[in-house]
């Protein structure tokens, strides 16, 4: 899908959400962002492989069209290529996902080559890597150094040569992301990157207005579902307190 048509990708963590998104997306990502969005953690570092597998199984039950990717969590693949294979093989076998996403730079290239050679489709995640939030000093846009375009295009080409089926670039200044998209033959998915990317991904809760804690500059909100949920809960509470709900039409065995 490299080329003029754009690849549409959104995150999904549950079966009902996957069912709603599936027909509209090419790729559903079970992102480790679920640690922050669903579980209220401050970062993605505390997410376990068991949690990622359980949510991916749920998403698989709700999708029939999209390619589903599982995000390998912090600590599950960085130690060695053997550790990465063990955990990635388990993730593929138990979740049913069609591919995996791993965050990393030059140090990850050898692991990606090892995994791809053994039948595991990999999408490396470059640029801003949330699993490295402590090293990066926060969720800050990357690629402001003079040599950033050269550095990231070189890494991206190494990943491509290692067999990655696509790359994802997050939170990186536009000219650098554009240079990477133009330099590689496999698709580059962007998030806070560049319109020149071959596809775009966002956290679904961000486009729906369902994650009140923080909205990144790169997210676009298409609907205010948070406000709608709050209004519905208030209306329900008011009905229950006023004795208006349930009405007899919501009850069983009502005598006419
Ligand atoms: O975890 C995630 O949802 C991600 C996307 C933000 C790309 O990695």
The 10s digit of each residue's pLDDT in 73-115 is: 999 999 999 999 999 999 999 999 999 999 999 999 999 999 9
Return the pLDDT at 256.
80
Give the nearest ligand 1 atom to 191 CA: 7
How far out from the chain centre does Cα 10 lie?
Answer: 7
Give the nearest ligand 1 atom to 201 CA: 7
Beta-carbon count within 10 A of 38 CB: 15
Establish whether residue 198 lines the binding site of ligand 1, counting it when its CB lies within 6 angstroms of any ligand atom.
no
Torsion angle (degrees, nearest 10) of CA 18, 24, 29, 32: -60
Burial class (CB in 10 A: 0-12, 13-18, 19+), 181: buried
Query: DSSP for 17-83?
Result: HHHHHGGG-SEEEE-TTHHHHTT--SSSTT--HHHHHHHHHHHHHT-SSSEEEEEPPTTSSSS-HHH
Establish whether residue 131 lines the binding site of ligand 1, counting it when its CB lies within 6 angstroms of any ligand atom.
no
DSSP 8-state assignment for residue 253 = S
Structural contact between residues 77 and 83, judged by C-beta atoms closer than 8 angstroms: yes
pTM for the full predicted model: 0.96
pLDDT digits (tens, 9 = 90+) for 222-251: 999 999 999 999 999 999 999 999 999 999
Give the nearest ligand 1 atom to 130 CA: 8
CA of 152 to the centre of ligand 1 (A): 19
Establish whether residue 170 lines the binding site of ligand 1, counting it when its CB lies within 6 angstroms of any ligand atom.
yes
Closest residue to atom 3 of ligand 1, CA basis: 31
- Compute the distance between CA of residue 142 and CA of residue 164 in angstroms, rounded to an integer: 22
Establish whether residue 200 lines the binding site of ligand 1, counting it when its CB lies within 6 angstroms of any ligand atom.
no
- Compute the distance between CA of residue 92 and CA of residue 88 in angstroms, rounded to an integer: 6
């Amino acid at each position: 899908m490299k080329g003029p048509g754009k690849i549409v990708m959104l995150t999904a963590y549950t079966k009902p959400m996957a069912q709603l998104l599936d027909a509209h997306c090419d790729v559903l990502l079970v992102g480790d962002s679920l640690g922050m969005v669903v579980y209220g953690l401050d970062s993605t570092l505390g997410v376990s492989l068991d949690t990622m597998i359980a949510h991916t199984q749920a998403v698989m039950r709700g999708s029939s069209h999209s390619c589903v990717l599982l995000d390998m969590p912090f600590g599950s693949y960085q130690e060695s290529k053997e550790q990465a294979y063990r955990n990635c093989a388990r993730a593929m076998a138990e979740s049913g996902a069609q591919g995996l996403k791993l965050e990393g730079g030059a140090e990850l290239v050898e692991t990606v080559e090892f995994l791809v050679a053994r039948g595991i489709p990999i999408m490396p995640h470059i640029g801003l890597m949330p699993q490295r939030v402590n090293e990066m000093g926060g969720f800050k846009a990357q690629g402001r150094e003079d040599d950033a375009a050269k550095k990231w295009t070189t890494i991206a080409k190494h990943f491509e040569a290692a067999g990655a089926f696509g790359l994802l670039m997050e939170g990186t200044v536009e000219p650098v992301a554009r240079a990477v998209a133009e330099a590689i033959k496999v698709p580059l998915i962007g998030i806070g990157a560049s319109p020149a990317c071959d596809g775009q991904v966002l956290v679904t809760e961000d486009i729906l207005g369902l994650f009140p804690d923080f909205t990144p500059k790169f997210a676009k909100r298409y609907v205010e579902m948070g406000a709608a949920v709050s209004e519905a809960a208030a209306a329900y509470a008011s009905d229950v307190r006023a004795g208006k709900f349930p009405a007899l039409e919501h009850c069983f065995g009502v005598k006419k």
